[in-house]
Every structure is written in structure tokens, then in C-alpha cells.
Amino acid sequence: MSNFQNKKGPVIKQFIITPIATVDPPLLNAVGLHQPYALRTIVELITDDNISGISEIPGNIAIDAALESAKNLIIGMDPFNLNGIRQVLEAHFGTETAGQRGDMPWDQRKLVHIFSAIEVACLDIVGKITNRPVVDLLGGKMRDAVPFSAYLFYKYEGAGGELGHKIDPAASGWAAARQTKAVDPAGIVAQAKAMCAEFGFKSLKLKGGVFDPRLETDSIFALREAFGPDVPLRIDPNAAWTIETSIKYGLEMEGCLEYLEDPTKGQEGMAVVRKALKTPLATNMCTTSFGDIPSSIAIGSEDIILSDHHFWGGLRSSMELSKICQVFGRGLSMHSNSHLGISLAAMVHLGAALPKVPYALDTHYPWQSDEVITGGRFKFEDGSVAVPKGPGLGVILDKIALAKLHQNYLDCGITVRDDTTEMKKFNPDWKFETMRW
Ligand SMILES: [Mg+2]
């Protein structure tokens, strides 16, 4: 028997779950207003050889409880055996259903969330054991740096966190601009200029579904005017528009958008809008799992799927999605939520492994000011992030920062994302409506 066969595989012996709260400014969207802190959960797996792997997922109290419930099933398993781990989690959580996603712009399914947290941490471990970056475990690096898009938001004045809707007068540059109110086309253009000056983005995405579509469409025209025809523009009304509104404003913006993201709700509605427009449609709301793909292809609900490894069941599943997109003529890009550097590192490894990246990926990263990795925040150069060097994800958990952000979580009292309740603090009559316009 060879030495290889004699070697006992590594075993996960510790599974540490740490909910954190990271400062988030008052950004507006179709369901309300970002709370002063965004919740993330950091997972750390440690092997019997004391090799640690980390990951970051969108957090809330239910996800943390689901992670906790999976802990004893995962302890004792081999981090190389991702297929076995997936099978154990499927048996534990049951098969996912489309209904579990919910109506909100963010996804609320458990199995894919939990598996992605464990898979990314296991790949970090496997990378450290084999002395290879995660991108190599996904099949190898196709590019050295991954392009991201500016992600513009209508917002109220404020820095978020303890400052809430107040601003820090000492802030300068992007840190100052990030606090500034933006509720009209001029405000969005100013925000875009400040963000691009800091990060060098070459594409612009506007989160819509907040104000009357007239004002939001005019914001896109103002961006076109300010940045010229060579800067790709996108708007994402988060399915707040009816089919008629989507077609009306979609036609107005024809020729001006790189793509129109989730103008309306559901695959059927999207298919109707798609037939009426030349502009490609993208989604992270109507085709959000492998189970949604057959109907998407049958009725033609979108041109571009915005993947997200947190919701598609990890990095390897996202690679599988890229193959399916290629087969069925779908473009592929990436969705994001408020996140820190561990998620960004995973997104960059995935983005570097994808066969093609025809669209700059989404990231909320400029809106966050905290970090949970050593060495500070990621640097963007010309809108792109270089693939981290070093084995695994190439980022190291900063235990002091983790403790501080966990204390934020305990102190802030937020246990679930609730943009609607946050919005009602400023406008008591406001309520969430699907397809408001
Ligand atoms: Mg979206």
C-alpha cells in the first residue's frame, strides 16, 4: 500500500459560528431602508491538524440556528468530501423549494446558504493543505483580476452604525460621499463620480424600485450624460414595476442600458417584458436556483443570470451554473449583498475561474467600512480586484476585528434584516408593495 493510501484524511474537529454586525449606511431599496448594521455570519472550520478554513454568509438568527443544527453532522467529516457533506445537509434540511426564497430582494433559503458557508470554508482548508489558491480548486485562473461595477443607491443622509442618519464631519473623499444624501438624478451622479474616483469602476449599476420610475429613468439619463456612452449602465428596480411600466420605461432606456435587472416579478412577467424590449434582462430574483432553470429556458424569462455563491450552493455549483448558462445561451454575472472581505475573496476566486466575465460583477463592498480580515480592506484598481495570493482564500481572519463586530451584533439588537420596519421609523405610513408602480 502506498503512503497516500495509508494517510488518514483530515477531519473537521471544530465548527465555530460567529454572527457579526457591520456598519451600513441608510440605503434605499424597494422594500425600505437598510438598517444601521448589516448582519453577516462568519464560519470557521478547524481540522484535527489545526488547519482553519473560513467563510462569510448573509446572517440572521434563523440561519445561525440552522448552522448550529448542522454542526454535529459536519464535525468528524473530511473537508475534501464536499459531495458527502452536501448529501448530509440535504438529508438534514430537506430539498429546497422555490417558495423558501421569499418575496424580498434577498434570498432566504437555508440549504444553499448553509452548504455554501461550509463549502467555502472547506475549500479554504483544502487550499491550505494542497498549498493552492481556491481558484485552482475551481479549475484554474482565467484572469489575474476580476472587474466589479459601481453599485449606486438612492440614500438618506447618514453614515450608518452608531452615527445612523448623522454624518461624520471629519470624513473625506469617498468616506464623506458615502454619507451624503442622494434622492435625485444629480445626487446619483455625484455619488457615482465619488465612487468611481475612489475605486475606478468602469460600469455603473443603480438600485431602483425606490422612487417613481420617471425619476429613476431620468437618473439613468443623467448618468449617461455625465459618463458618456462608453460606460455600461444598469438599473435594478427589484421587481417593483408592473409589466406595463417595465415596457414603458424599458423602451425609453433602450440603447442606454447594458441590461435591465428584474424590472418585474416572476419568470412569466419577465418573459413578457423581454419579448417587448431589445435590452437584455438580468435576474437574481426570478431564476435563482437550478430548479428554476427548466421553466426559465421554456419561456425565456431572462438573458443574464446573476449568480451568487451564497444562494446557488457554493463556488463549485456556481461553476456548474456557468456551464448551464453557456449551453442555454444565458449570460452570467454576479449578485451581491452587503458584505466584507471573506465573501469578496470568494467572489474574486470564482470570478477568476469562470470561463468568461462579460459583465462587471456587483459588489456592495464600497458601502461597508468595517473589515474582518487582517491587512485591512481590499484594494480596487481600475474597478478590479486582484486574485488574493496565498493558499486557500488567501485571507486571514482578524480575531480582534471579529470580536468587535460580534460585540456590534450583540449591542445593536438586530437579529434579522428588516428594511421595511427601518423605513417606517422615518415614514410611518410606508408599506412594502410588490410591483408598486
Ligand atoms: Mg438584483
What does the pLDDT read at residue 5?
A: 53
Q: Cα separation of 181 and 402, whole Å?
A: 30
Answer yes or no: same fold for 7-132+400-411 and 137-395: no
Centroid of ligand 1 to alpha carbon of 289 (angstroms)? 14
Q: For the chain, what are the domain ranges? A: 7-132+400-411, 137-395
Q: DSSP state, 43? A: E
Active site residue 207: yes
Q: Cα separation of 113 and 311, whole Å?
A: 6
> How many CB atoms sit inside 10 A of residue 412's CB?
16
Which architecture, in CATH terms, is 137-395? Alpha-Beta Barrel (3.20)
Q: Cα separation of 287 and 265, whole Å?
A: 11
Catalytic-role residue among 309, 310, 335, 339: 335
φ, ψ (nearest 5 deg) of residue 199: -110, -15
> How many CB atoms sit inside 10 A of residue 14's CB?
13
Model's pTM, two decimal places? Answer: 0.96
What does the pLDDT read at residue 7?
A: 61
Q: Which residues in the chain come in under a pLDDT of 50?
A: 1-3
What does the pLDDT read at residue 2?
A: 47
Centroid of ligand 1 to alpha carbon of 91 (angstroms)? 30
What does the pLDDT read at residue 108?
A: 62
What class does CATH assign to 7-132+400-411?
alpha beta
Q: Where are the beta strands (DSSP E) in 150-249?
A: 150-153, 204-207, 233-236
Closest alpha carbon to 287 in 318, 309, 262: 262
Active site residue 335: yes
Average pLDDT score, the chain: 95
Catalytic-role residue among 34, 113, 205, 207: 207
Centroid of ligand 1 to alpha carbon of 240 (angstroms)? 11
